[in-house]
A and B are shown apart, each in its own frame.
Chain A
Amino acid sequence: MSGNPTGSKEQAQIRVQKQIQLPFSKAWQISLQGIRIRWMRSLITASGIFLGIAFFSSVRASGLFPVDTSSKEAIAAANRQTWLAVMALLVCFVGIMNAMLMSVTERFKEIGTMKCLGALDNFVVKLFFIEAALMGSLASTLGWFIGWLITVGIHVLTKGTADMGGAFWSGTLREVGLSIVIGVTITLLAAVPPARRAAQMPPVAALRSEV
């Protein structure tokens, strides 16, 4: 090689390989381990999601019971419920956003380090996506159930099970879906964009960030 007089040709032959893409299972493994070891921190983040959805679900659950349309009071109460449900959604939105944003931004340095060790941007994003999706779906499911249980429990204790017909159960099914979709969506919205931003920074910028 040293005998080659044309330096430019020699340079053209030197190529750097492309970094390999790791399989999804690797990201899954690392994410799960992260949640397990950061258990207390994950629990706090998850309880932020849980509380938001539980509040939302408990308010929504009271809408599952038929309203006595002849009573003005009952109609006014139903309207208040709608208003409360909107508020609940807002509170839950802010709560989850806050919990997830914190948990991602406090790990910017870790993201920078991983990139120094050869992690690809999308692998880092995948880690945070899996973690957020897992925590979001588990906490939302639990949050929905507890919120629903409290409202329905109180209703059953005070008014009996007379209102729990077919419409109630189909409504319940709808509420499960709604709670989980909202919970997971907000969780991902709060976690993935900042993680992507950190992954796309030059490593030195991510390393420098102090939270």
Chain B
Amino acid sequence: MAAHEYVVRTKGLVKIYQMGEEILRALNGVDLDIKRGEYISIMGPSGSGKSTLFNAIGGLDKPDEGSVFINDVDMAQLDARELAYLRCHTIGYIFQSYNLIPVMTALENVTLPTIFAGTPTDQGIERGIELLNIVGLGHRLHHRPTQLSGGQQQRVAIARSLANNPAIILADEPTGNLDLKTGEEIIELLRELNREQGVTIITATHDYKMVNVSDRVVWIRDGKIAKIEDRANIDIQVGTMQGAEL
């Protein structure tokens, strides 16, 4: 298989946290290959290392050992400006707590990445309006985050993550702060974007609803990949899980 089919590859990722005397290996040798256009869920209980893996893939934190390749480029080899370019153009981030800039309107939040990319202002605004329409917030362009509900804020964050047409969207617990119904809407939106725009979506989550839409589910336990399941097996899995929950 040609290497460039993979948009993200990790090799032997290790991340160590020292807490006083205790040494915690949050990631303990993670190898993961993610294909272009896939919808991947990284699942695991809290403290399993899924957020650490998410941060390493997104270049938000440096692993202690191993490497992350984005489009076959080793992230450890990049200097600060190349890394900033990658964060700006190649990766879009969505966070559990939305992380919108509180002093900016929805539209300004969405256009901010286009400013960093050097897009002319009017083109950036055009793009921002287009994206806010896609996520269903065309009527809320000039509202500040505090004037929007959690679900709406997350939609703005999703629109923002798409601003520079990234190849990858990384979503850390995107439904973690949302109620059931809003969470489902956000998942549906991510799925649509994945299908229609071909963007690779990687979510770290413990929301079982996410399993339904994922192409593959990566289960993390104690800093290691416990198992990787693909779609065919997932349906059965979900059936039993929902059964168990009921």
Contacts and interface: CB of A to CB of B under 8 A. Distances in A.
Interface of A: 1-2, 7, 10-11, 14-20, 22, 26, 30, 33-34, 37-38, 109-110, 112-121, 123, 202-205, 207
B85 A19 contact: yes
Contacts of A205: 61
B55 A204 contact: yes
Given A14-B71, A16-B86, A207 B80 contact: no
Contacts of B4: 1-2
25 contacts: A2-B4, A7-B3, A11-B72, A14-B72, A17-B82, A17-B85, A18-B81, A18-B82, A19-B82, A19-B85, A20-B117, A33-B103, A113-B99, A114-B101, A116-B60, A117-B87, A117-B88, A117-B112, A118-B84, A119-B84, A120-B81, A121-B80, A202-B61, A202-B62, A204-B61
Interface of A is mostly: helix
B128 interface: no
B44 interface: no
A130 B100 CA distance: 22
A34 B101 CA distance: 10
A123 to B, nearest CB: 8
Interface of B: 2-4, 55, 58, 60-62, 71-73, 78-82, 84-90, 93, 95, 99-104, 112-113, 115-118, 160, 164
Contact of B99 (A7, A30, A207): A207
A207 B82 contact: no
A124 B55 CA distance: 21
A22 B86 contact: no
B80 A120 contact: yes
Given A34-B103, A119-B84, A123-B116, 14 more contacts: A11-B72, A16-B82, A16-B85, A19-B85, A20-B117, A22-B118, A26-B115, A33-B104, A112-B99, A113-B99, A116-B58, A118-B89, A120-B84, A207-B99
A7 to B, nearest CB: 6
A92 B233 CA distance: 67
A16 B87 contact: no
A203 B4 CA distance: 27
Contacts of B86: 16
Which of A14, A16, A33 is most buried by chain B, counting CB atoms within 10 A of its CB?
A: A16
Contacts of A115: 84, 87
Nearest to B102: A110
Nearest to A116: B93
Contacts of A2: 2, 4
Across the A-B interface, the 7 shortest Cβ-Cβ residue pairs:
A118-B88, A19-B84, A118-B116, A19-B85, A204-B60, A18-B81, A37-B103
Contacts of B117: 20, 118
Given A16-B82, A38-B103, A207-B99, A117 B113 contact: yes
B114 to A, nearest CB: 10
Contact of A207 (B60, B73, B112): B60
